[in-house]
Amino acid sequence: MSGEPPDEEGFYFPVYEEVASDLLEGLDRTGLVVEDIGHEIEPSTGDRTFRCAAHVGTSEAAPRYQASLHFHWDALLTYLGTYGPGSECDLYHEPGEACSHRAQPPHPGVDLVVEYDLGDGGYQLSDLGEVQAWISTVESLLSRVLPDDDGRVVHLNLAFREGAVWVERFTAEQSWYLDLSEPRDLSPICEMVAATLRATPTLADRLPL
């Protein structure tokens, strides 16, 4: 991660734009096509959210498999990054009041969430037993690309209509907690995202979706 080095007191704090830029650059270096980049801000709180989509570049206009990435940036992170450690005292109590804010440096971090599309949906489910087989297939694939399953969840959205059960969406989600208390290289995570996207097309022959 690029950015300003720690100051003379050892204080380092990234800014939102720096983390978003490093993530985009990391994805670009893997050769993925990055689209739908968005920066959202909540007017009432000042919280920010970064979003983008990535897929393996092909000749297809609408790739079947893609990943959606996002992280949430609390407004307090922006405040502390601007005014420095201990500045939260101004938010929580009167000046001069005894507190621990200045004694304990802030610990910035965000959760990076990546969601992978695994199927188009629109499939009528004839046997609920199929679901476990699908999940086992996906887990087998992901465990080869992402050996650490901490933070990984498989989602299957079902709908009941016309007297039948339909699969509306099939996704897998992986999340990482990013400790931003010191400069961090996001390249390894971006490479794992790229490896997963390059592996997911093999599901086309193993899932009916």
**pLDDT at residue 2 in the model:** 47
Count of beta carbons in the 10 Å neighbourhood of residue 169: 16
Domain boundaries, the chain: 16-205
Q: Quick check: 3 pLDDT over 50?
A: no
136's CB contacts (< 8 A; 6+ apart) are: none
User: Average pLDDT, stretch 149-158?
Assistant: 82
Please give the full DSSP string across 37-76, using - where no structure is assigned.
Answer: EEEEE-TTT--EEEEEEEEE--S-SS-S--EEEEEEE-HH
Report the pLDDT value the prediction gives residue 192, as an integer from 0 to 100: 93
Over residues 167-202, the pLDDT tens digits come to 888 899 999 999 988 888 999 999 999 999 998 888
The pLDDT of residue 195 is 93
Considering only residues 197 and 105, tell me which one the structure prediction assigns the higher pLDDT. 197
DSSP β-bridge partners for residue 68: 53, 115
Q: Kindly report the backbone phi and psi dihedral angles of residue 201, in degrees, each rounded to the nearest multiple of 5, phi listed first.
A: -60, -20
Tell me the three state secondary structure of residue 206.
Answer: coil
Residues 6+ apart with CB under 8 A from 76: 88, 91
Between these two residues, 77 and 7, which has the higher pLDDT value? 77
State the average pLDDT over residues 21-31: 96
pLDDT at 77: 87
User: Model's pTM, two decimal places?
Assistant: 0.82
Whole-angstrom Cα distance, residue 113 to residue 35? 16
Residues 197, 202, 207, 209, CA torsion sign: positive
Strand partners, 51: 38, 70
- What is the pLDDT confidence band of residue 82, given thresholds at 50, 70 and 90? confident
Per cent of the chain over pLDDT 90 is 35
Residue with tokens 């093999």: 202
What is residue 81's three-state secondary structure? helix
CB count in 10 Å sphere of residue 66? 19
